[in-house]
Structure 1
């Protein structure tokens, strides 16, 4: 039996607002939401999953614009949610503050770094929650927890007042349990989401091939059930070509943004984040320059393939969520494989929506839909038209 109080204790930070209302009316009136503790909320500290930042950071002077939008449209903010330390993680495990509970699979990781937001939404503690996504931090926890999660087009929603991790990848996004709420939140940012015209579903068969067999087979069947589709090859350059482009760019930006803070004398960092920061410090400028050129080539090709009506279909994660007690080696192996999937939208700056698609061995697995730039409305309309997909396997 799920302990809702325990989920709430692990999902929410203690230093956020209990209730904040800006407007009693608007298209989101009656809905409750939370924000990842990377977002500034005026009068409250932004700790970003690190005790030093909580101790040293004064209360924010202004609320992030992306948080002001749902507040202005009538939603009520009910708290801030836990994150992996400085958003550096895929599993939601924070040695300083603990690991939020995955309500759909309590013995498994909730996914990160927007772990608390996903946990709270999946448990029904609120209607929607804001997260951030750099390399999969909304999409992966949405898949692990069996909910909807949207990474938006890079630059479409302001990231002012949100902790920067890798600034050319960082995006705002949100979670909800149903596509109708996803659409309502989207309309508060983008305006009316109308039914999309016919979409070309493009199934990246090679992306399904390296998923764990049962997960890949189940998700491929779900993908083929979406409607008329065609199969394409996504990784024409090989998966290493994508990863060797993503890794140095993200690491170099991570170090440029947070390296000075992380390397201050006496800084309290977990071992995993310290190792990641040390690795980031070794990335050479020539490697970054080469990866920058490759990124543009990959982006140009994928946008051309998608056109105005294409929807790329891939697994969100390659396997079931890891167990909470998984070793660091197991976590690293999982992350390296799933990054092959999540790096696609991250590199190409595209919107991606996780749709709960199936239950495999008692765990949720998600299917991802990727559209061209500013294609969020198409994705949200398609998800609402499709309705629930989840089936047991």
Structure 2
């Protein structure tokens, strides 16, 4: 291993059985420490939860499915505390090292799994995505990242954050491996979208170098494109507020007992976010849920025969030694783009987008709910 990567938790190694043959044989699997794995604790990045976890007697069904397909377990990986951040830092256990850009954040909350794959210590990195915890670290570390359709993969045995947004997801270094995993999990469909959709306000919210790289990539495709000014009549900031209201309220509900019993074990920024969720009224939450339902219906109609192509993030990830204020601004700006898949429940795949200066960026595809494999034989193959 490369100890400086700080990708894995230093748990005493315990053998985890896997199939000797299968479609994923020969691939190493790193598992975010939100998933239960038999023989290991599950800490979710918090020392109080670690102390009370005990050794798990069952493995999360999705982990077991990957092992039964032939993948071999190589360790449990770091997560932001409670999976409640997009930065990749953990006050208690540190920040994994982005191997390609060690001066930049690795992104979170699935930081360890992303760094394990980017460092060559694993071939599949299993994580979760609530507000961007697969897509952002995939972009920061130059990886392929898959946020599946909501409900597609089994979330049992995974500690939740905001259950109406949480999905398991994964990282790979190349598209061939991602395709192999998706097909092994039985993700198939025969749909071939006829329209590539580009939304103008998503591009206008990006830094110029990212917008330029995006358009350069689209020109190389030489594919017909349909553009529209926006996804919502209310605009991206309003969608982000809707998303954040639901996220913060559900995160408070999930972690209320922990907050009341062991607030002193939580990082200050996590405490503040939980308090914000506590203060959201039931009426405000229900209003946001209704707004999400309207957006989801409209988005499904838009995506009936289309794939939305967009930059994954509006800007390059910040430096790991930046201020909390800079991290907060980056998080807020990123949510305006990352919230689309969360609110719609639709699948999103991100892949590296080359920038002239060599900084990490990503380009994403979003399809209609349940059509994850649209990417497998379609546009993603050409982009990759």
Scaled to the shorter chain, the TM-score interval is over 0.9
C-alpha distance in structure 1 between counterparts of 2:164 and 2:358, whole Å: 36
Q: Deviations over 1:258-289 (max 9, x none)?
A: 11212215640111111111111100111111
The equivalent of 1:207 in structure 2 is: 202
Q: 1:355 to 1:294 in 2, by over 3 A?
A: same
Residue 297 and residue 224 in structure 1: after superposition, are their counterparts in 2 closer, same or farther (change >3 A)?
farther
Residue 223 (structure 1) aligned to one of 208, 218, 234: 218
Match of 1:391 in 2: none
Residue from 34, 37, 41 that aligns with 1:38: 34
Normalising by structure 2, report the TM-score.
0.95
- Alignment partner of 1:122 out of 118, 123, 146: 118
Structure 1 spans left out of the alignment, 5+ residues: 389-393
Q: Measure, in 1, the Cα distance between the counterparts of 2:327 and 2:379.
A: 30
Change (3 A) 1:18 1:284: same
- List per-residue Cα deviations over 1:268-317 (Å, max 9, x = no partner): 0111111111111100111111111110110011110110x311011111
> After the TM superposition, which of the residue ranges 143-152 and 20-29 deviates more from structure 2?
20-29
CA distance in 1: counterparts of 2:55 and 2:207, whole angstroms: 45
Asked if structure 1 preserves the Cα contact closer than 8 Å seen for 2:210 and 2:355, the reply is: no
Unpaired segments ≥5 residues, structure 2: none
Q: What is the number of equivalent residue pairs in this alignment?
A: 382
Match of 2:329 among 333, 336, 340: 333
How many Å separate the matches in 2 of 1:44 and 1:303?
40
Aligned to 1:373: 369
Q: Report the Cα offset of residue 216 of structure 1.
A: 1.9
Distance (Å, rounded) in 1 between the aligned partners of 2:263 and 2:122: 38
- Give 1:234 deviation, angstroms: 1.9
Tell me if the contact between 2:79 and 2:88 (Cα under 8 Å) persists in the aligned partners.
yes
Q: After TM superposition, which residue ranges in structure 1, 4 or more long, deviate above 4 angstroms?
A: 16-19, 191-194
Query: Per-residue CA shift, 1:126-163, capped at 9, x if unaligned?
Result: 11111100000000000111110000111111101001
RMSD: 1.7
What does residue 240 of structure 1 align with?
A: 237
Deviations 1:71-102 (A, max 9, x none): 00111010011000000110101111110011
- Residue equivalent to 2:307: 311
Distance 2:275 2:180 in 1: 42
1:184 aligns with 2:180: yes
Greater alpha carbon shift after TM alignment, 239-248 vs 132-141:
239-248
Q: Are the counterparts in 2 of residues 206 and 235 from structure 1 also a CA contact under 8 Å? A: no
Say whether residues 1:352 and 2:348 are aligned partners: yes
